[in-house]
Structure 1
């Protein structure tokens, strides 16, 4: 007789296994999420500094170069190729001294054409003025003839009037004489009025012609002056610098080929990071070190145009009598932005490049724990601490390049 074997329910076993697997995976996932990420490091691989209270001086440091107090650029007025060079860079030049000569045949031909045209126009205007003068002369001659006829008629009139009263001449002859005199009198008056108006009109025309001639002659002088612009001369006396023209090279109008430095004092010129643009202003004071001594300087000009992340400033010396400066000397400038105050400070370090001042590792025994902080002003030495740190606490200030995702740093024993 066969024995009946009861089959176990495998479905329940599968379900229990799946539940246990899910719980296990969930536990490990939860542990991974909640567990703080840590990393073991060596103490000698990092830099540890102490938070302290000190006088915080808000200043910045930058390099500046000595330049002549006044300079003027040498600009090309008429473009062309360099034909001759008369001086060398770095030499002293006098005002008006020839520096170089350019050549541009097209421009010279254009000038010659314009000059010929202007001279022709001036000649035409002179001819028109001469014609008016000749016309006035002819009118004057006519007036003389008319006045002669008038005087003759008046003499005859006076004579016949006396003869008629004495009855020597007939009435009809007297009437003829009187009519002739009236005609000459009216003729003279009309011609005189006409000549007067003609003179007034001619006077206006001559004035206009004279103004036109003056304008044309002025334009001609300017044109002839422009022809001289191919010869580049020194605009003032001084030392020639940055003057390096090349024979045969073509230069455009307005292009600068050098400058002249007026050797009557020096200034400092520097480029400052754009971060400080709103904090640097005219009048702020600073110092430079020269031959072991400190010399005061101040901001004389701020040029707010930013190029390559920097803007330019010019500094003047408070007293440069003791300075034997030369162009191109470089100085480290310490510029004070505000008065010093005692506050909580943190020594600067490369940690700020990764944290932007928002967090830092604070040393606690054999480990360092990540902490949120808030920093304020900075100078080349310190950060001002506003929140998150206390006096006497030690922090890691070296680079955090490998610790961006780490919460706890464990020091190896």
Structure 2
């Protein structure tokens, strides 16, 4: 019988030094102390933050150095550089030959205005022209008749003068021979002198008749020319009753209906020239004084940019805005449509080698006087000073350096906190 285990028990000696458990606990303590030393500064920084925000809800930008272009972005719409409106030249009934949206070519008939009054007036003036032409022809015939009668009289007097001259010669010979008396001799001399005088007068009269006839003919010619001008003008007015397209383009609108009765000067339809487009812009009144003709512009259309130039600016302010026109500096893009919306950037100033950062809502909320600068995971509010402001960038005058990262999101949510923990 075995009473206990005392005879079989063996004494085990306790090992010298620290136990295994103590070593484990000691190592754990050292690790915790090391972690505390590392985490404590960060935790202390986190604890000092007034607010915290997730980084995914913020936008960041880095301060850089380079060129800055000061510009403004305005909305514009495509308008045709030449978009004439055709008006009725006279009162009458209109017959339309095209519809809105139809493509037309230069010189194509678009509408006809039926004006009975104008057609009747043309016939009357044509009849007056024919009458004036007939009067001129009759005057020319009369002039030839008078000229012929005057020439006949001259020819007859020349024959009589030649006969009188021969008679005078015979009288001289007879007197020398003592055949005739003094009375007959003197009569022969008188007849010759009288005929010579009548011939001279007849020639002068013929010259006067010629001048008078030329004057009368010229007067008739002027009357015919005047009537021809009147008739030509009326014929032009009748021809203008057919409205023709001045350009290759598109019928933009119809202002009347088919067979409408219109008054003189009433608009009939509009044409858009598809070969030349401009951009009509509206600029805020505050910038209008800085935008002059020839100001550089950049037109954005269909994801691409095209250079442009400011053509003119209106002197009138409408609704706190000033209207202007920008033209393409080169060939315009294809596919432009009337009244199509486009974005236009106007270059006001260009600065080189400046500190700049991407523009964001922080500028408007902070007034350009403060910004949150990233320092690790903390964003520290720092006073800054900004200069030139463009559509996409802002010039930094003081408070920031190249390479600094700032928050460009809206700062309203931070409520003026001096530091913010950014959770990444």
1:280-301 alpha-carbon deviations (Å, 9 max, x no partner): 2343333344454x43312152
1:211 and 2:219 aligned: no
Aligned to 1:224, what secondary structure does the other structure show? helix
What is the aligned counterpart of 2:342 among 331, 334, 340?
331
Residue 253 (structure 1) aligns with: 265
Residue 61 (structure 1) aligns with: 73
1:311 and 2:323 aligned: yes
1:239 and 2:239 aligned: no
1:135 and 2:135 aligned: no
Higher Rg of the two aligned structures: 2
1:176 and 2:192 aligned: no
Q: Displacement, 1:130? A: 4.6
Aligned to 1:338, what secondary structure does the other structure show? strand
Q: 1:270 to 1:96 in 2, by over 3 A?
A: closer
**Number of aligned pairs?**
339
CA distance in 1 between partners of 2:168 and 2:210 (Å): 31
Q: Displacement, 1:74? A: 4.8
Aligned to 2:292, what secondary structure does the other structure show? coil
CA distance in 2 between partners of 1:162 and 1:151 (Å): 17
CA distance in 2 between partners of 1:302 and 1:332 (Å): 18
1:295 and 2:312 aligned: no
Q: 1:197 to 1:316 in 2, by over 3 A?
A: same
Q: Displacement, 1:222? A: 1.8
CA-based RMSD: 4.5
TM-score by length of 1: 0.64
1:151-188 alpha-carbon deviations (Å, 9 max, x no partner): 33223233333343344433322221111011000111
Written as runs of structure 1 = structure 2, the 5 A alignment for 1:8-407 is 57-66=69-78, 71=82, 73-76=84-87, 78-117=89-128, 119-121=130-132, 123-124=134-135, 126-236=137-247, 238-244=248-254, 245-247=256-258, 248-253=260-265, 255=267, 257-261=269-273, 263=275, 266-273=276-283, 275=285, 276-292=287-303, 294-299=304-309, 301-306=311-316, 308=318, 309-318=321-330, 323-328=333-338, 329-340=340-351, 342=354, 379-380=390-391
> Which 5+ residue runs of structure 1 have no aligned equivalent?
1-43, 364-373, 400-408
> Which 5+ residue runs of structure 2 have no aligned equivalent?
1-52, 372-384, 418-424
1:342-361 alpha-carbon deviations (Å, 9 max, x no partner): 47999677998xx9x9x999
Q: Displacement, 1:204? A: 3.5
TM-score by length of 2: 0.62
1:272-319 alpha-carbon deviations (Å, 9 max, x no partner): 225233322343333344454x43312152143536333221321435
Q: 1:249 to 1:330 in 2, by over 3 A?
A: farther
